[in-house]
């Protein structure tokens, strides 16, 4: 069953009933002001940091679901009937309802009692505010007399403190109400130089800023006393719970329409110009008034909306596809790319599953996210790389997380996740392949943000590799540390006390437990390093020898042969100790016992090493990769995706950690952890098995799962982190939508490996590995300033194998579109087929 449909033309998902299984959300904002908005107008807003600069309140884990948001109430003043045009929070049944989630905006439209409403909510580019454009239309035959009430609840900035420190917070709330604008200025009198404001384009009949006055005591948002009576209380909050509510009277003749604009915004004043007059405690509003006046005009709001559309047209125009599969097209052209941008902005901080007060920016997460958006916003990718590298430690290891506001490594979590550094190598090499910006390697970057410790970024990469070489275990495999990619495989934390952190409570010395996954990742990243260094060695490209000496490397530039050797040594170690006969093993525990082997009763086979080792090239030429992937198919694949491991852990194992803390089938304990599935898709393309790669792609493609709405439950337009595995009673149910590495990796799998269009140092590779049923596809890819129109023909219905390529009408050897093309557009035609001989 479906709860809506895609409108690909407008790049929207259209939700056609308000009672979706879970709130289906969207994101507003792309630079510094952000908001989450659900299909019933729930959600909240913040400036830069969801924890430290929260503008509005939201109560997680609540019943009824999704309480707190950008609410509007309409009241028919003749009958006294009132309702919410977004259904929540009154839940009065609407005659018509539709929510359109688009790229950075949401439009909720409905109709009741002859009144049609449409509310468009978005953040204008470059502004720290959101606009709600409400259009009311009287669709009935008679004149109407309406009251419109807005309602938000302010958060006292630090969302964590706001939800816990009531003894202080109930006394500090402060407001100003001037000319119909409601200002929230809690703590402005002391150390804050920022405030929030809530403005309305119309003259007000009244306003409210005290929650209890607006709702009435012991009443909820579903039946505010002010809305019921039609009379605002015009009171100013002191302490308790400050809210903002405007009351506007609208008289509409039959057929008449009217637009009302609300602005919710954040504003900072210069520290020495906070008050007006200067010796008062009144907010200086001279700096914000021009902004408010500007955006309360509907022409300005419309222009800002048009600019936002153009921004997304440009971004999403960088890679588009037209294939025989509608799900692929809409995910590549719209939603998957959009989701990667959201993960760029949010990392794992704020969603309906991440409270915004927990995790900072993950080192591993952000590096992987970058793989999905680097071609969309290369300049911002560069900045992100430098921020991440600056949190690296001199050892080559990294802080596992950093705080977006300070960009400092987070001491609570610390470091010691031994896979972390390798993701930086993958991110930087992807960035250079995309942009050709070799100069980034020369950029001085500190360690642990310590001034004076700077070395060229290139040396950071060398240290990434060295970090693992310095931490090898008894079999010569990499030591796992606190965990590898699988945060829940905690082989050095034997935790027997409730509430202890599995990740940070390390009580083994960490000198024994090893990870085959990191070994595979090492081979992958060391081979990337070798490729990179090869080009640095040759004077023709990027850094010449003399340039490298200029950049003052504090240890020797290791030759590419060093990295090739390191990779092949590690590969041999994997074959000796990480290969189980039918698949790759997962790890060795603190007792030197194997995990992910036929010797195990539970956790016999894991997905991660199969994906990463084959991606690194292991066994591709000798049948062992195929064996490993066939084992995945046999033991791990389900109709809803590939589970993380089998058999699930049926009980808690002290020596394995958090992985066995989850009930079977959920999360890392044999859930379909969607992040890992694209590794298998990519691995399948290494073997040329396009049918299988695409089959796996489709199993977890949210659009392809739209019909399963009642089972899947999360949004059908974005990936979720997890779908319950076959051991779970709710097999097929998704959780943790939006903020997941799944977005970037699926995007990489489909665009670079299945459609096969990927940036390389020397050009754009076109090497599709598609389903044999496809007769071809077309794509457009902007690469290094040129637009490539790519047409792929598949007359013999093969999965893989380019037999001919034409560029602008001439035949070219191979399948690499070279760099030295004239500016402008180029037509690349590719024929797949069976190679002769
Ligand atoms: C989750 C992991 C997550 C980790 C972050 C665990 O509880 O299962 O998916 O990465 O927390 O600390
Ligand atoms: C979610 C974390 O954000 C990610 O870094 C990790 O790799 C996965 N969970 C698997 O544990």
Q: pLDDT tens for residues 468-516?
A: 999 999 999 999 999 999 999 999 999 999 999 999 999 999 999 999 9
Q: What percent of the chain has pLDDT over 70?
A: 97
Total residues found in the chain within this entry = 837
Best mutation site among 350, 675, 720 for ligand 2, i.e. most ligand atoms within 8 A of its Cβ?
675
Pick the atom of ligand 1 nearest to 501's CA: 12
Here the tokens at position 828 are 């690349």
Dihedral (Cα; 700, 704, 707, 712), 10-degree rounding: 20
pLDDT at 557 over 90: no
Helix, strand, or coil (residue 494): coil
Give the C-alpha distances (Å, rounded to integers) separating 783 from 462, 764, 819: 28, 7, 9
Res 558: pLDDT: 86
**Is the pLDDT score of 836 beyond 90?**
no
Task: Retrieve residue 381's tokens.
Answer: 């990718």
User: What is the 506 CA–ligand 1 centroid distance (Å)?
Assistant: 16
Q: How far is the CA of 404 from the centre of ligand 1 (A)?
A: 19
Which helix (H) or strand (E) covers residue 827, if one does?
strand 825-832
d(CA 30, CA 47): 11
Taken in order 568, 572, 578, 584, is the CA torsion positive or negative? positive
Q: Which protein residue has the closest C-alpha to ligand 1 atom 4?
A: 487
Strands 763-766 and 96-102, bridge-based pairing: unpaired
Ligand nearest the Cα atom of residue 739: 2
Task: Supply the pLDDT for residue 717.
Answer: 98
Mean pLDDT of 262-275: 98
Decide if 749 contacts 371 (C-beta within 8 A). no
Asked whether residue 336 carries a pLDDT value surpassing 70, the answer given is: yes
The confidence score (pLDDT) of residue 538 equals 67
> What pLDDT score does 178 carry?
98
| 34/45 Cα distance (integer angstroms) | 6
Name the pairing type of β-strands 587-588 and 129-138: unpaired
Does the pLDDT at position 374 exceed 90? yes
Nearest to 148 by CA among 86, 216, 88, 72: 72
H/E stretch holding 380: helix 378-389
Q: Which atom of ligand 2 is nearest to the CA of 673?
A: 10
- CA distances, 187 to each of 56, 170, 280, 542, 596 (Å): 15, 12, 15, 52, 54
The phi and psi torsions of 47 (rounded to 5 degrees) equal -110, 115
> What angle is formed at CA 500 by the lines to CA 495 and CA 506, rounded to 5 degrees?
55
Q: What is the pLDDT of residues 13-44, one digit of tens each?
A: 999 999 999 999 999 999 999 999 999 999 99
pLDDT at 90 over 90: yes
How does 643-652 read in b/e, with b if 16+ C-beta sit within 10 Å?
A: bbbbebbeee
**Is pLDDT of 549 > 50?**
no
pLDDT of amino acid 405: 79
Q: Name the token pair of 821.
A: 């093309």
Contact (Cβ atoms closer than 8 angstroms) between residue 804 and residue 814: no
Task: Report the percent of the chain where pLDDT is more than 90.
Answer: 94
Pull the structure tokens for residue 54: 């929260």
The CA 361 to ligand 2 mean position distance, Å, reads 12
CA of 310 to the centre of ligand 1 (A): 37
* Closest CA to ligand 2's atom 10: 486
Confidence grade of residue 208 (pLDDT, cut at 50, 70, 90): very high
Give the ligand 1 atom nearest the CA of 487. 10
Ligand 1 atom with least separation from CA of 667: 8
- Give the ligand whose atoms come closest to the C-alpha of residue 417: 2
Q: Which residues pair with 804 in a beta bridge?
A: 831
Predicted pLDDT of residue 540: 40
Ligand 2 centroid to 507 CA: how many Å? 22
Q: How high is the pLDDT of residue 588?
A: 99
Q: What's the mean pLDDT in 743-756?
A: 99
CA distance 399 to 409: 5
For atom 7 of ligand 2, the residue with the nearest CA is 485
Question: Pocket residues for ligand 2 (CB within 6 Å)?
Answer: 348, 362, 364-365, 485-488, 668
Give me the pLDDT at residue 837, please: 54
**Rg of the chain's alpha carbons, rounded to an integer?**
28
CA distance 767 to 155: 51
Range of lowest pLDDT (51-65, 532-546, 561-575, 792-806): 532-546
**Once rounded to an integer, what is the mean pLDDT over residues 48-70?**
95
Of ligand 2's listed atoms, the one at least distance from the Cα of 488 is 11
Query: HSE-up of 251 (CA within 13 Å, CB side)?
Result: 2
Cα–Cα distance between 492 and 512 in angstroms, integer?
9
- Give the catalytic positions in this structure: 487
Helix axes of 363-373 and 336-346: crossing angle, nearest 10 degrees = 140
Quickly state the pLDDT bin for 407 (edges 50, 70, 90): confident
Query: Is the confidence at residue 546, as pLDDT, over 50?
Result: no
Tokens of 628: 């490993």
| Residues at CB less than 6 angstroms from ligand 1 | 487-488, 503, 658, 667-668
Residue 550 has pLDDT above 50, yes or no: no
Strand order in the sheet with 734-737: 672-673, 720-723, 734-737
By the 8 A CB rule, do 698 and 692 touch?
A: no
**Nearest ligand to the C-alpha atom of residue 351:** 2
With beta carbons less than 8 A apart as the criterion, state whether 537 and 585 touch: no
Residue the block writes with tokens 């509907």: 298
503 alpha carbon to ligand 1 midpoint, in Å? 9
Distance CA 119, CA 574 (A): 58
Q: Is the pLDDT of residue 719 over 70?
A: yes
Q: Coil, strand, or helix at residue 550?
A: helix
Whether residue 539 is predicted with pLDDT greater than 50 in this model: the reply is no
pLDDT tens, position by position, 437-476: 999 998 999 999 999 999 999 999 999 999 999 999 999 9
**Per-residue pLDDT for 433 more than 50?**
yes
* Alpha carbon 23 to chain centroid, angstroms: 17
Give nearest CA residue, ligand 1 atom 7.
488
Give dist(CA 300, CA 305) in Å, integer: 9
pLDDT value, residue 406: 84
Residue having the nearest C-alpha atom to atom 5 of ligand 2: 365
Ligand 2, atom 9, lies closest to the CA of 487
CA of 821 to the centre of ligand 2 (A): 40
Which protein residue has the closest C-alpha to ligand 1 atom 11? 487
Number of helical (H) and strand (E) elements in the chain, helices listed first:
21, 42
The pLDDT, as a whole number, for residue 554 is 52
Q: Which atom of ligand 1 is nearest to the CA of 668?
A: 8
pLDDT in tens, 280-290: 999 999 999 99
């Amino acid at each position: 069953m479906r709860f809506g449909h895609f409108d690909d033309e407008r790049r929207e998902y259209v939700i056609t009933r308000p009672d979706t299984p879970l709130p289906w959300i969207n994101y507003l904002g792309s630079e510094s002001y952000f908001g989450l908005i659900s299909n019933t107008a729930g959600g909240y807003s913040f400036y830069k940091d969801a924890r430290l600069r929260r503008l509005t309140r939201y109560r997680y884990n609540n019943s009824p679901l999704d309480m707190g948001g950008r609410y509007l109430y309409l009241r028919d003043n003749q009958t006294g009937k009132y309702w919410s045009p977004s259904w929540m929070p009154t839940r009065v049944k609407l005659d018509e309802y539709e929510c359109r989630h688009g790229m950075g905006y949401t439009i909720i439209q409905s109709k009741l009692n002859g009144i049609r409403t449409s509310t468009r909510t978005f953040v204008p580019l470059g502004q720290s505010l959101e606009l709600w454009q409400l259009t009311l239309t009287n669709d009935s035959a008679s004149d109407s007399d309406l009251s419109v009430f807005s309602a938000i609840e302010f958060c006292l900035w630090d969302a964590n403190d706001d939800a816990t420190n009531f003894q202080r917070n109930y006394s500090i709330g402060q407001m100003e109400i001037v000319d119909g604008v409601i200002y929230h200025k809690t703590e402005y009198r002391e150390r804050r130089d920022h405030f929030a404001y809530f403005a309305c384009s119309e003259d007000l009949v009244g306003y409210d800023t005290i929650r209890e006055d607006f709702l009435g005591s012991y009443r909820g948002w579903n039946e505010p006393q002010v809305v019921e009576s039609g009379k605002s209380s015009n009171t100013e909050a002191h302490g308790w719970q400050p809210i903002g509510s405007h009351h506007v009277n609208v008289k509409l003749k039959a057929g008449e329409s009217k637009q009302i604009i609300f602005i919710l915004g954040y504003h900072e004043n210069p520290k020495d110009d906070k008050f007006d007059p200067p010796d008062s405690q009144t907010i200086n509003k001279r700096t914000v008034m021009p902004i408010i006046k500007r955006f309360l005009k509907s022409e300005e709001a419309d222009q800002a909306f048009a600019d936002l559309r153009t921004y997304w047209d440009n971004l999403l125009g960088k890679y588009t596809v037209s294939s025989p599969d509608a799900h692929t097209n809409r995910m590549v052209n719209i939603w998957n790319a959009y989701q990667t941008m959201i993960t760029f902005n949010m990392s794992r901080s704020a969603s309906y599953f991440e409270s915004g007060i927990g995790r900072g920016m993950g080192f591993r997460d952000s590096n992987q996210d970058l793989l999905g958006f680097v071609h969309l916003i290369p300049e911002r990718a560069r900045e992100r790389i430098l921020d991440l590298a600056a949190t690296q430690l001199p050892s080559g290891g990294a802080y596992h997380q950093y705080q977006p506001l300070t960009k400092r490594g987070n001491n609570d979590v610390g470091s010691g996740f031994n896979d972390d550094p390798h993701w930086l190598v993958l991110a930087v090499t992807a960035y250079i392949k995309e942009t050709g910006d070799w100069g980034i390697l020369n950029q001085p970057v500190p360690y642990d943000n310590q001034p004076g410790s700077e070395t060229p970024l290139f040396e950071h990469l060398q240290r990434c590799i060295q970090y693992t070489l310095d931490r090898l275990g008894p079999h010569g495999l990499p030591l796992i540390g606190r965990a590898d990619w699988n945060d829940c495989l905690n082989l050095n934390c034997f935790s027997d006390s409730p509430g202890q952190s599995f990740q940070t409570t390390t009580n083994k010395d960490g000198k024994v437990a090893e990870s085959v996954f990191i070994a595979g990742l090492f081979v992958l990243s060391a081979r990337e390093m070798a490729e990179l260094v090869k080009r640095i060695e040759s004077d023709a490209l990027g850094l010449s020898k003399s340039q490298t000496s200029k950049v003052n490397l504090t240890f020797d530039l290791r030759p590419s042969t060093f990295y090739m050797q390191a990779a092949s040594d590690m590969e041999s170690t994997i074959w000796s100790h990480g290969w189980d006969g039918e698949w790759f093993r997962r790890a060795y525990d603190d007792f030197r016992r194997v995990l992910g082997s036929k010797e195990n009763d539970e956790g016999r086979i894991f997905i991660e090493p199969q994906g990463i080792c084959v991606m690194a090239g292991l066994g591709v030429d000798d049948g062992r990769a195929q064996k490993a992937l066939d084992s995945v198919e046999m033991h791990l694949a389900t109709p809803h995706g590939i589970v993380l491991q089998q058999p699930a852990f049926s009980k808690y194992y002290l020596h394995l950690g958090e992985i066995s803390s989850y009930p079977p089938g959920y999360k890392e304990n044999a859930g379909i952890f969607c992040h890992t599935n694209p590794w298998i898709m990519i691995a399948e393309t290494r073997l040329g098995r396009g049918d299988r790669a695409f089959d796996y792609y489709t199993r977890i493609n949210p659009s392809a799962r739209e019909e399963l709405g009642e089972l899947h439950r999360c949004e059908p337009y974005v990936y979720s982190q997890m779908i319950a595995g076959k051991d779970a009673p709710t097999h097929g149910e998704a959780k943790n939508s939006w903020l997941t590495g799944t977005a970037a990796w699926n995007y990489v799998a489909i665009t670079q490996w299945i459609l096969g269009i990927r940036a390389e140092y020397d050009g754009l590779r076109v090497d599709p590995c598609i389903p044999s049923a496809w007769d071809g596809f077309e794509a457009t890819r902007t690469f290094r300033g040129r637009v490539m129109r790519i047409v792929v023909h598949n007359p013999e219905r093969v999965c893989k194998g380019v037999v001919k390529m034409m560029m602008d009408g001439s035949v070219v050897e191979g399948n690499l579109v070279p760099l030295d093309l004239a500016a402008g557009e180029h037509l690349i035609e590719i024929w797949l087929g069976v190679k002769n001989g």
